[in-house]
A and B are shown apart, each in its own frame.
Chain A
Amino acid sequence: MAKKQKVSDCGVDNFNWKPTFVLSDDDTQPVELVNILAASITNRQDTSQILKSLSELFPLNGLHHLKRVKSCKGETKNDVALQIIICLASDQHSQSKHVSLKQIFGDKPFAGKGLGPPFLTKAAKFPPRTRQQFKDASIYWPTSFHEDKHLTRAIAGQLFTVSEKHKIQCYMEKAVAVAKTGKERGQAPIGAVIVDPINEEVIAVCHDLRNVGRHPFFHAAMICIDLVAASQGGGTYKYNEPGFYNKNSQYNSANQECKESSTSDVNSISGNHKDPCACNTNGEDGISTQQVTTDNIALLSGDKSGPYLCTGYDLYITHEPCIMCAMALVHSRINRVFYGIMCPNGALGSRYKIHTQSGLNHHFEVFKGILELDCNQLLKT
């Protein structure tokens, strides 16, 4: 178990874990390149005229992120030379050793006047998405970069304040605790917690139940989704396990420790929000034993304006979800997923990246490495 952060430590970032943003393949892939033909501009004064002619003659379709003109070091120390993209290189251009202006322009009115000998070079095929891709692309040819500030901060691990990291840790500690309960009962040591981050309210808590005579699909994430459904008057199964919880259950009184504020709200975003640093002060057994009932189904006919599936909710789970669970989270419209350790068949970063899968109607952010050591420890005897 990670050291509990004392309230007095709240302003200090001394966590033994760090949230790693799980990027899409588009964000991590190396820069894809295309061949281009470029040439030096002999006389700077001609630049705008040449630019105009070339833009009309050879528009850079699909490559508008590239800067057409690039400045580079000239022959003498303080001399700056300009180079310009003439056009995208054809396969024929790319294969021949030498391309002349005549070959490029033929007998077009603008025959490349004012240009030096053309040369073959490379440039990024797509606009860069991350700062790293921007840096890598710029080595070849300058490109524009519309930075997604949120993404940059996420990649740099700067998305969360110390206070937010305390909350993340608190919820993951709950997941680790319930995973231990499951482990003691012969189940896979995987725990999950679903939280409403706006109200700082725990909605559901459970551990895995796929082993030992239960359902093969009782993976922690699937059960948690069903417990959320139960909290909304739906749900499919009855669970009778210690440590399980859904917010609508009649036995939920003991599970207020993440909400019940105690000492300090100093680092909370708003004074109204409870300080989850107070979490766990009354021990790990604060979660009550309870039973999910489907009696609440009567509620179904009523309020339609209430919470909808897992919209706006965050999942904390000790292990990376599998493909079934990951897609279940897409169907359930989860807000964010925080997990501890990766799994080889995992679908939120390892085998697939379902949360960024193009074509799907819902995407979400995923952070891994939360209480990594504690989650790893769960696997050991």
Chain B
Amino acid sequence: MRVYLSFTFCQQNSMADDVSLDEEGIRKWMEKSLDMAHDALFNGEVPVGCLMVYKDEVIGKGRNCVNETRNATRHAEMVAIDEVIGWCEKSNQVKEAVFSKTVLYVTVEPCIMCAGALRLLHVPLVVYGCSNERFGGCGSVLNVHKDDIDNHGKPFKCISGIFAEEAIALLKDFYKGQNPNAPNPKIKP
């Protein structure tokens, strides 16, 4: 498994001030995100999982739970964001300050909705596995991550391709199990 990383990219953009990243950490958090995606698959949900990491601490985890809630907006990212908000309230932290220094690790490129949500919170960096050709908001369908949008703060950076094959394998498993006639997910590494 190759990890495509560019730390210079982060430092150039003074990202290092806001969030700390190292290759080992990225692999560790992405592996945990994949565990969350497995959990989704086990529960009959589209297997996408994520973590939100603040100062080297996981303050939110999420996996898809659209079927369970009958709410099509319950993507892994939205679930994790709820946990972060809960964490902020419990530990008396200012949400805005926390989100602006939190990294999202997610197995699949955030969709247009989630990318918009992350912009609203000023999350600075997203590390993801495979791209999301159907709904992706970080380059695949739209560039919500970097477009100039009124009231949506600064663009966020993306690092992609981390454990992409594992993320795709899970999605393939899901669509195979769901409906043998369903086409393979149009998701490419």
Write the residues of chain A forming the contact surface with B, with a CB cutoff of 8 angstroms. Answer: 215-217, 222, 225-226, 229, 232-236, 297, 300, 309, 322-324, 327-328, 330-333, 343-345, 347, 351-352, 354, 357, 359-361
Partner of A328 from the list B113, B115, B121 (CB cut-off 8 Å) is: B113
CB–CB A345/B70 < 8 A: no
Complex contacts, A222 vs chain B, CB 8 Å: 73
Please name 18 further chain A to chain B contacts, defined as beta carbons within 8 Å, in addition to the given A309-B71, A328-B73, A344-B151, sorted by A numbering.
A217-B120, A226-B73, A234-B68, A235-B70, A236-B71, A236-B74, A323-B116, A323-B119, A324-B116, A324-B120, A327-B113, A327-B135, A328-B113, A331-B135, A333-B72, A357-B141, A360-B135, A360-B141
CB–CB A225/B72 < 8 A: yes
Number of interface residues of B (CB under 8 A): 33
**Closest-CB distance, B63 to chain A (whole angstroms):** 14
Q: 4 tightest A-B contacts by CB? A: A234-B70, A327-B113, A323-B116, A324-B116
Sampled A-B contacts (11; CB under 8 Å): A215-B82, A215-B85, A226-B71, A226-B73, A235-B70, A309-B71, A322-B116, A323-B144, A323-B152, A332-B73, A360-B135
Task: Write the chain A residue with the least CB distance to B135.
Answer: A360
CB < 8 Å A-B pair total: 95
From DSSP, what is the main secondary structure of chain A's interface residues? Answer: loop
Complex contacts, A229 vs chain B, CB 8 Å: 69-71
Task: Write the chain B residue with the least CB distance to A322.
Answer: B116
B149 within 8 Å of A (CB atoms): yes
Q: A323-B116, A327-B113 are in contact. Are A345 and B72 (CB under 8 A)?
A: no
Complex contacts, B170 vs chain A, CB 8 Å: none
Q: A217-B78, A217-B81, A345-B152 are in contact. Are A225 and B71 (CB under 8 A)?
A: yes
Partner of A354 from the list B69, B112, B150 (CB cut-off 8 Å) is: B112
